[in-house]
Copies of this chain bind each other. A is one copy, B any other.
Amino acid sequence: MGSHSDPGLPIGVFDSGVGGLTVLSALQRALPKEDFLYFGDTARVPYGSKPLEMVRRFAWEISGYLIHQGVKAIVVACNTASSAALPELSGSLSVPVFNVLEPAVAEAKAVGGQVGLIGTEGTIKSGSYQKQFDEEIWSKACALFVPIVEEGLWADAVAKRVADYYLHDAPKDLGTLILGCTHYPFLKPVIGEVLPGVRLIDSAEATAKVVKAGIKKNPAGAGSVKHFVTGDLEAYTVLARRLGVEVQQAERVPLDEL
């Protein structure tokens, strides 16, 4: 505890790669005076196809690294890591731990109607979203959505064709669809075309609201962001730019320093 409760410290955000940048951007919009450390585990991405116990270990390593750097809160901006490590991390760290799963679920419940869920194979198979609901919800793993976003093709005809492929058998009475992957907000327009009238829950926005309500505000932050990545720095910078994020300050963290 102690120094970790200093409201002047940055907020640590982590993800397997660049997907969590949508969460970072939502946090920056909601909390313009906060400073952030963003950790992208780009050397070990993707988490979605790895055994959950391995992802749980990664989540511990990265949380430890962020706490060592000095953060006042941690946002697990990765659905798979949230699924793998959540109750354990929240209960064991001296700083508040937020995730992208619970805020999206709470918003879906508030909206009501028949709920659906899309995400990576790891997230869907873990059942971590599904078990938050009393009734069975429709769900679908959409493996191609992440590479389509990372390739910058979210507005291309390719994205529309792939969205049709995954979503054509969604129930007719679907009222709400949880975008259970931090890459998916880019695909909102295309998903909206395929499923008109369905309310899309963007976990980045939902999470930012919960974090805003739950942290001690920084009275004099500069709105800075420092990025840490385990993989190639240049590749990260290029990919982040494609997703609309200009990386100003970044450092590579070799895996054996975690």
- A residues whose Cβ falls under 8 Å from a Cβ of B: 42-45, 49-51, 54, 121, 143-144, 146-148, 150-151, 153, 156-158, 161-162, 165, 231-232, 235
Contact = CB atoms under 8 A, between A and B. Distances in A.
Given A44-B44, A153-B165, A157-B161, 12 more contacts: A42-B49, A43-B50, A43-B54, A49-B231, A50-B232, A51-B231, A121-B235, A144-B151, A144-B153, A146-B147, A156-B165, A161-B161
Copies of this protein, total: 2
A42 to B, nearest CB: 7
Contact of A165 (B121, B150, B158): B158
B43 A231 contact: no
Contacts of A147: 143-144, 146-147
Contacts of A45: 49
Contacts of A49: 42, 45, 231-232, 235
Contacts of A235: 49, 121
17 contacts: A42-B49, A43-B50, A43-B51, A44-B44, A45-B49, A49-B231, A49-B232, A49-B235, A51-B231, A143-B147, A143-B150, A144-B148, A144-B153, A146-B147, A147-B147, A153-B165, A157-B161
